[in-house]
Amino acid sequence: MDIKAFKMDGLGNDFVIIDQRSQDFNLNENQIIKVCDRSFIGCDQLILIKKNKEIDADIEFYNSDGSVSGACGNGTRCVADLLSKESGKKEITLLTASGSLKSKILGNNLVETEIGVPKVNWQEIPLSKQLDTQDLKIEIVDRKNTKHIGGTAINVGNPHIIFFVDDIEAFDLQSIGPKIENHPLFPEKCNVTLAKVVNRNLIKVKVWERGSGLTKACGTAACATAAAANINNLVEKTTDIAFALGNLTISIDERNSIHMKGPVSDIKNIDIKL
């Protein structure tokens, strides 16, 4: 099977995007895993674009382990930019598993997407039992075996936990990530973020992404981190979230809705042979 596809990324968080509006086929889990495998094509997530008669398109996200992802902020921004270049429209609406998301094309490969109001109730995360989602009191240990206890849970289309620490490099996220992702408290697993508040307008982060592992950037993690930091009164309503390759700017409006702004890459056409 020969498939025409696209490769894009947001701050290194990379995607293979397949437009199914004109290609009528289904991919099974093994094929999705193969496409995401970095010894083949390679990406953090596979994105499928599907027809929608009322809005610009439906999009589906799949993690590199073949599992479904309810939301992907950087992926949404990339698809919005792709469809904008196709249609010339400066506002793109996409239907995802977590709801309808509107994006504004700002020019110079800069795209802003409204992610929506974060969910903070324990049942909405979801958690397996009732706890204070502002402080789950989960223990992580740094490289010097010093304990840190905390964790704020947020759902922004998928579940996240954010640990605010003094030094994100002091922790081995490669080891911590899968343990917290699969913690019994999270029946749908979770994304794991280590966050250091630099000042009230800047947070540095490292992210372990549910179903994908360590990632260079994660849009929903940036949104969840900014929301958690606001809940804990650590930052202003607009703050930059710093990843290794650049920043996403997260703003929380008067309705408590989250807006994510940042760059997307140029579009690369690729051929996939399965």
Q: What is the pLDDT of residues 75-101, one digit of tens each?
A: 999 999 999 999 999 999 999 998 999
User: Is the CATH code 3.40.50.620 the one for domain 2-115+262-273?
Assistant: no
Per the annotation, binding residues for substrate are: 13, 45, 63, 73-74, 158, 191, 209-210, 219-220
Q: What is the pLDDT of residues 193-240, one digit of tens each?
A: 999 999 999 999 999 999 999 999 999 999 999 999 999 999 999 999
What are the DSSP calls for 172-215, one per residue?
-HHHHHHHHHT-TT-TT--EEEEEEEEETTEEEEEEEETTTEEE
Measure Cα distances from 67 to 16, 26, 63, 180, 215 in Å. Answer: 15, 15, 5, 17, 16
Q: Compute the distance between CA of residue 92 and CA of residue 103 in angstroms, rounded to an integer.
A: 5
Q: Which residue in 36, 43, 72, 190 is the catalytic one?
A: 72
Q: Compute the distance between CA of residue 161 and CA of residue 93 in angstroms, rounded to an integer.
A: 28
Cβ–Cβ < 8 Å for 190, 183? yes
Can 190 be counted among the known catalytic residues?
no
Q: Which residue in 36, 78, 190, 218 is the catalytic one?
A: 218
The domain spans of the chain are: 2-115+262-273, 122-254
Q: Compute the distance between CA of residue 248 and CA of residue 268 in angstroms, rounded to an integer.
A: 22
Can 223 be counted among the known catalytic residues?
no
Cβ–Cβ < 8 Å for 229, 248? no
Q: What is the pLDDT of residues 115-174, one digit of tens each?
A: 999 999 999 999 999 999 999 999 999 999 999 999 999 999 999 999 999 999 999 999
User: Is the CATH code 3.40.50.300 the one for domain 122-254?
Assistant: no
Q: What is the pLDDT of residues 25-66, one digit of tens each?
A: 889 999 999 999 999 999 999 999 999 999 999 999 999 999
Tokens 């099974």, residue located? 28
Per the annotation, binding residues are: 13, 45, 63, 73-74, 158, 191, 209-210, 219-220
Is residue 254 scored above 80 in pLDDT?
Answer: yes
Within a 13 Å sphere around the CA of 207, how many CA atoms are in the beta-carbon half?
30
Asked whether the domain spanning 122-254 has the same topology as the one spanning 2-115+262-273, the reply is yes
Q: Compute the distance between CA of residue 144 and CA of residue 60 in angstroms, rounded to an integer.
A: 41
Measure Cα distances from 40 to 37, 130, 138, 149 in Å. Answer: 5, 43, 37, 40
Q: Compute the distance between CA of residue 32 and CA of residue 204 in angstroms, rounded to an integer.
A: 31
Grouping H, G, I as helix, E, B as strand and the rest as coil, residue 242 is: strand
